[in-house]
Structure 1
Amino acid sequence: MTDRTFPLNTGAKIPALGLGTWQSAPGEVAAAVEYAVTSGYRLIDGAYCYGNEEEVGQGLKAAFAKGIKREDVFVVSKVWATYNTRVELGLEKSLKSLGLDYVDLFLVHWPLLMNPNGDDDRFPKLPNGERDIIRDYDHRETWTQMEAVFATGKTKAIGVSNYSEKFLNELLPVAKIVPAVNQIENHPALPQQEIVDLCREKGIHIMAYSPFGSTGGPLFTAEPIVAIAAKHSVSPATILLSYHLARGTTVLAKSVTASRIEENKKVVDLDAEDLDKLNAYSTKLEKEGKLQRFVYPPFGVNFGFPDKQ
């Protein structure tokens, strides 16, 4: 899977599989990135908020020292919510930590503004312990700044993350540059088909995170996923990754373990019958009100997702 790509609306190609670095423990990220890149991964997804971009940069540097070319690795970063009014500064901080002159894709991490002058650089809080959020912020203002940093060449593409259909419909009429990517939580228990369909219509590529749901979640034991895995003689994890390839979306697999990083490179081509079963599973969950979103920080902001109203 590491050699498969999809086209972006910029004319560039984005790998179908990437290594995610969210929540990767300190001291493990650099080795994981180095191993992934030298073993064939060509997309590394990071973010300022993750607090580990220096280690990601160390891993990339080590891989480049082994002969991997910078231009062959698609590096993603994201502007964090405390920098949504200071996008260029956010990008500069990430580039410095990564040790790079440019990233291949820079995303708006979440469409909200946390107090840039608050008591913490990443997660400012009010005296009562709640997140310190600027409530009259307009996410479209950040996109204007994203377009400006794109013009500098310090990012080869710009996009969004965690954007609902509602927020996309607010952004697109004023966007001079259509986002290249929308990175969202996506798996059979949260297909978000309304967002996928809108993005497909507008030429916005979907990048899926949390493809396995969450530790202890239902996806590895869900009957249709187990049955399809048995049919292809692979693990449920392989089916959950293959699901995205069949949907034409890039998927991020997160691990710091060499054996798991290798295992996540395996995919199978799902046939129409397989996809029908997975789609029926998603439809059943939706009808029963059992869709599951595993990543939804306690911002206290309505992002417009139907399952979180």
Structure 2
Amino acid sequence: MNTTPPSNPVLVAQDLHKAYGDTAAVFGTSLAVGTGEFFGILGPNGAGKTTLVEILEGQREPDSGTVAVFGESPWPRNMDVYRRIGIQSQSSAFFPDLTTLEHLETMAGLYGLGRDAAATALAQVGLSTSAKTRVTRLSGGQRQRIAIASALIHGPDLLFLDEPTAALDPEARRSLWGLLREIRADGCSIVYTTHHLDEAEELCDRVAIMQRGEIIAMDTPASLIKAAGGATQISVPGELISLADAQALPGVLATQQAGADVILSTEAVAQVLAELGGRLDLARVETRRPTLEDVYLHLTGAEFTR
């Protein structure tokens, strides 16, 4: 686990603990998030992600340990900190009788901002055409965007997002990914929880994997995958190659029969594909590289449940 802190952190947490009765929701957690960093907190439901984020935001007091956001403790509800952070939670609240623009104008007013801030935030999340639509008539994906717009309206330097793509369809998830990349590109640091490992691999600079209240791994997605020693899997129809011939290929680490296919494991993908190309039609060959989900399986020995 690479726990080297970033050179210019906006958030530092040290040895956090939080229990509910005999259940440890957060246990010995330490982390730091750098300026402009997209930091993911991963894990299945019940891993402690939401409790950890609520502590980092200053919405929940830890039993022990410390949190510093921009050098100050966010608890109890430090308004100097709150003016510089944005929060989108799993249960974001809306004014249901208002239009999207009216809702954001109300949010802007809470920060002492003018109505132009609402229009800017609405455009930022790509919903200007829905300005006159009542919040109750928005789709799930649109509501998620309005929740993020509400968190962004005052121009925060640090944004907390708790499973913002939960319950979204694949198209809406991908669309939201683009928005999050734009936010990060503008210099905003992001702390992001999700149980979608493919999403974290696409978006995050670094990730921490939680299990039963503890961080069990933390690094860049690429470094975690490399450290886990995951080999690339090459699938070849069994009619094209035998298990013995596949095992004899230079660069192949292991082989297995999977239904009608032969699966080759290798860390020398180019070499093995070149060998296969001299023997069979590569158009019928499929390649699967290691992913964060493979890392999770490697670390925990259990399926990643959602």
Whether TM exceeds 0.5 here: the answer is no
In terms of fraction of residues, the more strand-rich structure is 2
In the superposition, the TM-score normalised over structure 1's length comes to 0.37
In the superposition, the TM-score normalised over structure 2's length comes to 0.37
